[in-house]
């Protein structure tokens, strides 16, 4: 009886699984996704760091000083380059200029990647730096010291409500033109005309870290930075595309080992110039000792030279770094960018019109004010030594006339300064003040005249003026 009552009053509940649920590890900072990961437009680590700081409503300096630097265990990031005993903050003082290394191949980039991956629990932040090529790239000519940006990219992203960031490709020194807008990158804020470090106390992608103004500008075909000569544009398009392909390649392929460069150079020599190193050195416009060093792994190829070699022998940079086999083309000499950055072909001498040049020189001999010979040569687009060789009398006359004019000008300037100083001295004396050099300098309009010179002669012989320092 008792048991039947019990069975009526008791409810039956669903069974519970008491096995504890595994909770994924929590990250200390947001697991912010990098922009453009896996593409050639991936963002750089300094850009990621400033966006990560902003996501936590912090400045990069506070994020670095309070969270990242203590984990890195490097005093210099905590002090920001300040003298011991002074109150220096992270990224303060002159340390901002070293921030470029955060995006580079070295130990600084490695420290930042380790700490940021640990705090965000991401494992892909190495692709935001040049670490994938740390064994093959030398630091020389690799990183751009200060920030560079395409104002049109910023403007376009803002108009389309996209996230503003800085691609890794902008940190390469060889990249000077935006691939998408075919305009030159900017290196100075167009409001305060200052250069900016890659990471400063208050860096925000798209904004100046000195004056906080927006760095984007509209697309204008008449803007002076839009005018890029065809050959330079062709070269820059090739550089930009090659680096983007290389950035994409790094996400799928293992990092190239140190021996890779020597092997690839040997392959180029074998196929582009029948294994003859001298001929290859000549083809790329470099000394044979330099090429020998590269071929035998004694020295590393700076990236500017590497890009020019690849362009010269028509091999893609990604093939050079990653492919086991590639076929460089044997290239005949023709005027393209050589490894040294200058054209290797000799220019055809321009015809020399003696009569016209002489007439131009005679006219310039009467010009007022007279030109120096350097200016004359520039105006005629002829080498100064060439002019002296063919028209010695005329050139000497032009030079002497200019020298005389300079002497007259100097004397005039000197007399004016003497007058000013005497006037200032007597003013001070009449007020009962001793006319020291500093007091006199403060009164006259151009105090720098006190230590200046014109054509190597001191402007003011102070001993003559009896003024003490």
Binding residues for Zn ion (CB under 5 A) = 150, 152-153, 178, 180-181, 189, 191-192, 208, 210-211
Q: How far is CA 264 from CA 105, 267, 331, 412, in A?
A: 21, 5, 17, 66
Secondary structure element (H or E) that encloses residue 159, with its range: helix 151-159
Minimum distance, C-beta of residue 393 to Zn ion, in the bound complex (Å): 54
Residue 441, φ and ψ in degrees, nearest 5: -60, -35
Minimum distance, C-beta of residue 171 to Zn ion, in the bound complex (Å): 15
Is the omega angle on the peptide bond into residue 189 within 30 degrees of 0, that is, cis? no
Is the omega angle on the peptide bond into residue 369 within 30 degrees of 0, that is, cis? yes
Minimum distance, C-beta of residue 346 to Zn ion, in the bound complex (Å): 37
> Toward Zn ion, which CB reaches closer, 180 or 296?
180
d(Cα 53, Cα 151) in Å, to the nearest integer?
Answer: 23
Minimum distance, C-beta of residue 284 to Zn ion, in the bound complex (Å): 31
- Give start and end residues of each alpha helix (H) in 10-74: 45-55, 60-62, 69-72
Contact residues for 80 (Cβ-Cβ < 8 A; gap 6+): 61, 65, 88, 89, 90, 91, 92, 93, 95
Tokens of residue 94, six digits: 């002159």
d(Cα 212, Cα 76) in Å, to the nearest integer?
Answer: 26
> Toward Zn ion, which CB reaches closer, 192 or 327?
192
> Toward Zn ion, which CB reaches closer, 94 or 212?
212
> Toward Zn ion, which CB reaches closer, 191 or 296?
191
DSSP character for 453?
Answer: E
- Minimal CA–CA distance to 131: which of 103, 112, 111? 103
Minimum distance, C-beta of residue 187 to Zn ion, in the bound complex (Å): 12
Q: How far is CA 245 from CA 87, 240, 256, 265, 321, in A?
A: 44, 9, 15, 20, 11
> Toward Zn ion, which CB reaches closer, 113 or 179?
179
Tokens of residue 399, six digits: 């030079």
How many C-beta atoms lie closer than 10 Å to residue 251's C-beta? 14
Tokens of residue 222, six digits: 């008449």
d(Cα 393, Cα 377) in Å, to the nearest integer?
Answer: 15
Minimum distance, C-beta of residue 179 to Zn ion, in the bound complex (Å): 7
Minimum distance, C-beta of residue 200 to Zn ion, in the bound complex (Å): 11
How many C-beta atoms lie closer than 10 Å to residue 417's C-beta? 19
Minimum distance, C-beta of residue 208 to Zn ion, in the bound complex (Å): 3
Tokens of residue 312, six digits: 């010269």
> Toward Zn ion, which CB reaches closer, 200 or 424?
200
Minimum distance, C-beta of residue 457 to Zn ion, in the bound complex (Å): 41
d(Cα 46, Cα 250) in Å, to the nearest integer?
Answer: 19
The four Cα atoms 219, 222, 224, 228 give a dihedral, to 10 degrees, of: 80
| 3-state class (DSSP) for residue 258 | coil
| 3-state class (DSSP) for residue 324 | coil
| 3-state class (DSSP) for residue 112 | helix
> Toward Zn ion, which CB reaches closer, 150 or 395?
150
d(Cα 419, Cα 443) in Å, to the nearest integer?
Answer: 13
> Toward Zn ion, which CB reaches closer, 211 or 408?
211
- Give start and end residues of each alpha helix (H) in 365-458: 373-380, 384-390, 392-430, 437-443
> Toward Zn ion, which CB reaches closer, 110 or 210?
210
> Toward Zn ion, which CB reaches closer, 88 or 216?
216
Minimum distance, C-beta of residue 312 to Zn ion, in the bound complex (Å): 27
Minimum distance, C-beta of residue 172 to Zn ion, in the bound complex (Å): 15
Minimum distance, C-beta of residue 311 to Zn ion, in the bound complex (Å): 22
> Toward Zn ion, which CB reaches closer, 222 or 466?
222
> Toward Zn ion, which CB reaches closer, 195 or 287?
195
């Amino acid at each position: 009886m008792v048991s039947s009552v019990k069975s009526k009053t008791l409810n039956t509940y669903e069974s519970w699984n008491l096995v504890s649920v595994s909770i994924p590890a929590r990250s200390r900072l947001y697991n912010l996704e990098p922009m453009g990961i896996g593409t050639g437009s991936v963002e750089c680590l300094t850009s990621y760091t400033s966006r990560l700081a902003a996501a936590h409503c912090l400045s990069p300096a506070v994020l670095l000083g309070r969270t990242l630097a203590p984990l890195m265990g490097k005093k210099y990031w905590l002090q920001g380059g300040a003298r011991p005993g002074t109150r220096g903050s992270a990224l303060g003082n002159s340390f901002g200029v070293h921030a470029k290394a955060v995006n580079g191949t070295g130990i600084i980039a490695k420290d930042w990647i380790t700490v940021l991956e640990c705090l965000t629990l991401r494992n892909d932040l190495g692709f935001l730096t040049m670490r994938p090529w740390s064994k093959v790239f030398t630091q020389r000519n690799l990183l751009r010291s200060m920030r560079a940006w395409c104002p049109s990219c910023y403007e376009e992203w803002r108009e389309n409500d996209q996230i503003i960031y800085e691609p890794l490709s902008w940190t390469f020194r060889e990249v000077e033109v935006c691939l998408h807008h075919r305009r030159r990158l900017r290196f100075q804020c167009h409001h305060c005309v200052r250069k900016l470090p890659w990471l400063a106390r208050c860096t925000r992608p798209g904004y100046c870290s000195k004056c906080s103004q927006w760095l984007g500008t509209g697309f204008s075909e008449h803007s002076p930075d839009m005018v890029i000569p065809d050959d330079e544009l062709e070269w820059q398009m090739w550089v930009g595309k090659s680096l983007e392909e290389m950035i994409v390649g790094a996400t799928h392929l293992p990092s190239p080992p140190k021996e890779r460069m020597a092997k690839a150079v040997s392959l180029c020599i074998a196929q582009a110039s029948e294994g003859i190193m001298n001929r290859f050195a000549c083809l790329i416009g470099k000394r044979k000792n330099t090429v020998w060093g590269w071929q035998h792994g004694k020295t590393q190829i700076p990236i500017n030279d590497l890009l020019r070699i690849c362009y010269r022998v028509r091999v893609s940079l990604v093939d050079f770094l990653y492919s086991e086999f590639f076929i460089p083309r044997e290239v005949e000499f023709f005027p393209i960018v050589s490894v040294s950055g200058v054209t290797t072909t000799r220019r055809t001498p321009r015809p020399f019109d003696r009569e016209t040049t002489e007439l131009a020189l005679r006219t310039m001999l009467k010009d007022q004010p007279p030109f120096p010979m350097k200016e004359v040569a520039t105006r005629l687009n002829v080498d100064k030594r060439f002019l002296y060789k063919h028209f010695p009398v005329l050139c000497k006359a032009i030079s002497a006339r200019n020298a005389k004019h300079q002497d007259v000008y100097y004397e005039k300037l000197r007399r004016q300064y003497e007058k000013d100083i005497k006037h200032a001295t007597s003013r001070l004396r009449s007020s009962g003040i001793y006319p020291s050099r500093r007091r006199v300098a403060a009164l006259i309009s151009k105090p720098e005249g006190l230590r200046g010179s014109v054509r190597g002669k001191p402007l003011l012989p102070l001993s003559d003026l009896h003024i003490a320092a």
